[in-house]
Amino acid sequence: MTGSLAATLRTAWRNPSGRTGAFLMIGLLTLAVVGPWLLPDPTAIPDLGAGATPPSTGHLFGTDHLNRDLLARVATGARISLTIGALSVALSLTVGTLIGLWAGSAGGWLDSGLMRLVDAALAIPRLFVLLLLLVVWDHVPLPALIAVIGLTGWFGTSRMVRGEAIRLRTAGYIQAAVALGAAPKRTIFRHLLPNVFGVILVSATLGIGEVILLEAGLSFLGVGLQPPTPSWGIMVLDSRNYFSTAPWTLLFPGAMILVTVLAVNLMSDALRAAFDPRSA
């Protein structure tokens, strides 16, 4: 599997949609990394009286209602969104894999108890879980937000990994290895990762898109990050009262969310097709 991983990635790269997604993502990453250095301070208010000004050579994306440079805000927003997306998904996958492995290799009441809990957690929409956790929390720091989002996203992964672990535990070659004296958990773990790698990679890319949308949504609802942090969701919320006179203040931040999530989803789609050609 590891040998064919490079081949799978090549197949995904040959997929035009996947390549489009990858190019978009490279552009977004560049904007997120380099943008905040080159662009004006996203919180600076050069001329409050001027208000929102349309896109011009000085401000490529125009300025918002407080005359702040929109491109600079959008670039900082990209940095925030991508950071939250990448880190919280990494957290979800780690926790999900460990718990799934634990449940699957332990079996018995521990396994069924954990899975009942996972069933219950999956029944509550993630947005509501986050709302309940965050709504009474004034000024959530970014690391805490990442942790909270990451810790509410591992349920699906754990169930999948558990299924694979159970399949492996009963597989003949694992039982043979254990009979010959190999440590059961280590053996399962070693065989598990190559087996679930594809699915995990696909769900990780999908998960990043989901998390970016979720963070934007929370900010839009006034939960999580707070102004003047230039989160894309906050920017859409800010534009709410101005979008008929200054439509660019609505268009750009939302379009950034759309493009970013689309980019990861296109990549995820190409990966899925490469791992499972029959579904393409």
Partner 1 sequence: MAAWLVRRLLQAVVTFLAVAALLFVLMRAAPGNPLSRLTDDRPMTPAEQQRLQALFGLDQPVSTQFTRFAAAAATGDFGVSIEYYPVRVNTLIRSRLPASLLLGGTVLLVNLGLGIWLGVLQARRRGSSIDRWLTRLSLAGYAMPSFWLALILVSVFAIEWRLLPAAQMRDPLLGAEAGWVARTLDLLAHLVLPVVTLSVVTIAATMRYQRTAMLEVLRLDYILAARARGLEESAVVWRHAWRNALFPVLTLVGLMLPMLVSGSVFVESVFAWPGLGSLAAGAIAARDYPVLMATALLVSGAVLVSGVLTDIGYHVLDPRTRS
Shortest CB 257 distance to partner 1, Å:
5
Shortest CB 17 distance to partner 1, Å:
7
CB-nearer residue toward partner 1: 106 or 251: 251
Scan residues 248-267 and list those touching partner 1 (CB under 8 A): 250-251, 253-254, 257-262, 265-266
Pick one of 64, 69, 164, 269: the residue that binds partner 1 (CB under 8 A): 269
- Distances in Å between the Cα of 40 and the Cα atoms of 37, 44, 55, 71 are 8, 8, 15, 9
Encoded one letter per residue, x for contact with partner 1 by CB under 8 A and - for no contact, window 163-202 reads ----------------------------------------
CB-nearer residue toward partner 1: 196 or 235: 235
CB-nearer residue toward partner 1: 97 or 260: 260
Helix axes 142-151, 184-220, angle to 10 degrees: 120
Would you count residue 222 as binding partner 1 (CB under 8 A)?
A: yes
Q: How many residues bind partner 1 (CB under 8 A)?
A: 51
Pick one of 49, 108, 125, 181: the residue that binds partner 1 (CB under 8 A): 125
Shortest CB 193 distance to partner 1, Å:
26
Go through the chain and tell me how many residues it has: 280
Q: Which stretch binds partner 1 (CB under 8 A): 84-92, 98-106, 169-177, 241-249?
A: 241-249
Shortest CB 205 distance to partner 1, Å:
12
| Gap between the Cα atoms of 158 and 200, Å rounded | 10
Instruction: State the greatest distance between any 2 C-alpha atoms of the chain, in Å, as a whole number.
Output: 79
CB-nearer residue toward partner 1: 49 or 125: 125
Q: Are 54 and 41 in contact (CB under 8 A)?
A: no
Pick one of 34, 137, 141, 228: the residue that binds partner 1 (CB under 8 A): 137
Beta bridge partners of 63: 69
Beta bridge partners of 69: 63
Scan residues 22-81 and list those touching partner 1 (CB under 8 A): none
Residues near partner 1 (CB under 8 A) are 17, 116-117, 119-121, 123-129, 131-138, 209, 213, 216-217, 220-223, 233, 236, 239-240, 243-244, 247, 250-251, 253-254, 257-262, 265-266, 269, 278-279
